[in-house]
Amino acid sequence: MLVIRGATVYPGSGPPRQVDVGVADGKIAAVGGELSGDVVEADGLWLCPGFIDVHAHSALRSYEEPLLTEALSQGVTTQVICPDGLAPAPVAAGRWAERRDYLRALEGPGPEEWPWTTFAEYLDDLDATRPVISLVPSIGHGAVRDTVIGGERRPATREELEEMRREVRAGFEAGATSLSFGLVYFPGAHADTEELVAVAEVAAAFGAPLVPHVRNEGAGLLEAIDEMLEVSRRSGAALHVSHLKSLAEESLIEPLLERLEAADGVTFDQYPYGAGCTLLASLLPAWAQEDGAAATLARLRDPDALARIAHDVEHGLPAWENVLGTLGPERIVADGESIADRGGEPVETVAELLLESELGVQMIMHYASEAAVRKIAAHPLMLLGSDGIFGAKPHPRVAGSAARFLGRFCLREDLLAPEEAIARLTARAADRFGLADRGRIEVGKRADLVLLDPATYVDTATYESPLSLAEGVAGGWVAGERAWAESRPTGARAGGVAR
């Protein structure tokens, strides 16, 4: 038996105490008592359940880097993947390359050829990469709609709705624990409220939450939240809102939180930064993104279409988020340089970047004050979701979110008590996503553990050095195997797809 001795144990729920913890056969074997075995001395350190990141774009990352070092270095041992309705599967036969091209800036390319069509086949293939941490899949509504209908902007027929419901059901049967929506991404954005309710009813039957990127995070934020509250109420499925924020006025934050507080059983996640990161292509109006990547690129080569895009950015469209028009080109950064600093007309500059990369470029958009970020982070319904996206110059949240929330906001700034912050990173996240085997240091639970030094645990990633690893993690175990030691991965890979 492995014995971790002398640490202050934060069990995930309940107060901390100084007690020894024993691990055997991948599980917590003992908490307290006289324990003997291979001892890890942990005086002055904190032992916590492995942290759970409830929103991560790691659906294809393990094909390139199965050690997932940026997550592991922070003490993250579980990530919920396939958020925002986006996923590599299900995918219609022969259309995987088109899906890959759309997802590439968010998820990476994955294997040279995608050998799957069904969600179950994808999970099997992903599991074979042997990721070091656990990857917990969502079934993505956008992927399902694309498989059944394609990229057309129209309501689903009754037969198509039933087919989508069957695909969602198959996703849950394969191991999904939630149903994600991306109502600013395509083709998920084409769905009306009735379609959302229809597929959400399947999630309700499995006791699984809905996890939406809502239709508008700008001026239409409150209406977009109201839509998903209605979908939750009508379907009977619980609601967990992705990356809660306001891209428009910060005065919307208070009524936004009041709406969520008044609803029954709603939670949300947040990455603890005042800037977001997503596809640069999402700056385009909906009509310019219809019918897939090839059609979008063709429009960007068309001077008349480009002029129409510029007009829409300047004047807006009903219900459109219009990030470029709202924030301005100086607050949007691609590959380390703002759109404004690149010179030229902003829409033309965006088009050039998208054409050069074949849509495969991200943007970082600076939208919130530090006060607004901390107001949301302090709220009791908040869980931690990194929204981690890899790339040539990624957002620092991929390597810093958990350490920034706990190490900086809580341990250094006293925004929250450590017990509260750790509960959100562990037990509450596990409860929200139905992960009954983890999230607590209790006998019989999975031995996913993080040993950290509270004096040094903090994020170091910045916008200039976004992959700089967190400091202060003395040890990390996944299913009882030591995966992190001496500030680096050990090479042990006991994670996999959790289902």
Is pLDDT at 393 greater than 90 in this prediction?
no
pLDDT given at position 293: 85
Task: Give the single-character DSSP code of 149.
Answer: T
Give the distance from CA 76 to its chain's centroid.
Answer: 13
What pTM value is reported for the model? Answer: 0.96
d(CA 77, CA 196): 31
- Give domain limits for the chain: 279-366
Q: Categorize the per-residue pLDDT at 63 as very low, low, confident or very high, splitting at 50, 70 and 90.
A: very high
pLDDT given at position 392: 79
Q: If you average pLDDT over every residue of the chain, what do you get?
A: 96
Is pLDDT at 291 greater than 90 in this prediction?
no
pLDDT tens, position by position, 196-246? 999 999 999 999 999 999 999 999 999 999 999 999 999 999 999 999 999
Maximum pairwise Cα distance, the chain: 77
Task: Report the DSSP pairing between strands 134-140 and 496-497.
Answer: parallel
Cis bond before residue 115 (omega within 30° of 0): no
Is pLDDT at 350 greater than 90 in this prediction?
yes
107-118: average pLDDT: 95
Encoding tokens for residue 370?
Answer: 């530090």
Q: Taking a C-beta distance cutoff of 8 angstroms, is the pair 445, 28 a contact?
A: yes
- Helical H runs in 362-465? 370-377, 397-403, 418-425, 427-432
What letter represents residue 341's amino acid? D
For 491, residues 6+ apart whose C-beta sits below 8 A from its C-beta are 67
d(CA 66, CA 56): 14
pLDDT given at position 290: 85
Quick one: 413 exposed, middle or buried, by C-beta within 10 A (0-12, 13-18, 19+)? exposed
In this structure, the number of other CB atoms found within 10 A of the CB of residue 158 comes to 8
d(CA 400, CA 58): 15
Q: Taking a C-beta distance cutoff of 8 angstroms, is the pair 268, 382 a contact?
A: yes
332-350: average pLDDT: 94
Is pLDDT at 319 greater than 90 in this prediction?
no
Is pLDDT at 263 greater than 90 in this prediction?
yes
Q: Which residues pair with 120 in a beta bridge?
A: none
12-29: average pLDDT: 97
Nearest CA to 359 out of 99, 154, 114 is that of 99
SS3 call for 40: strand
d(CA 286, CA 101): 18
Encoding tokens for residue 273?
Answer: 């930064």
pLDDT given at position 30: 98
Q: Taking a C-beta distance cutoff of 8 angstroms, is the pair 117, 91 a contact?
A: yes
In this structure, the number of other CB atoms found within 10 A of the CB of residue 308 comes to 16
Residue with tokens 């400091």: 471
Task: Give the single-character DSSP code of 470.
Answer: P
Is pLDDT at 467 greater than 90 in this prediction?
yes
Nearest CA to 324 out of 289, 373, 294, 365 is that of 365
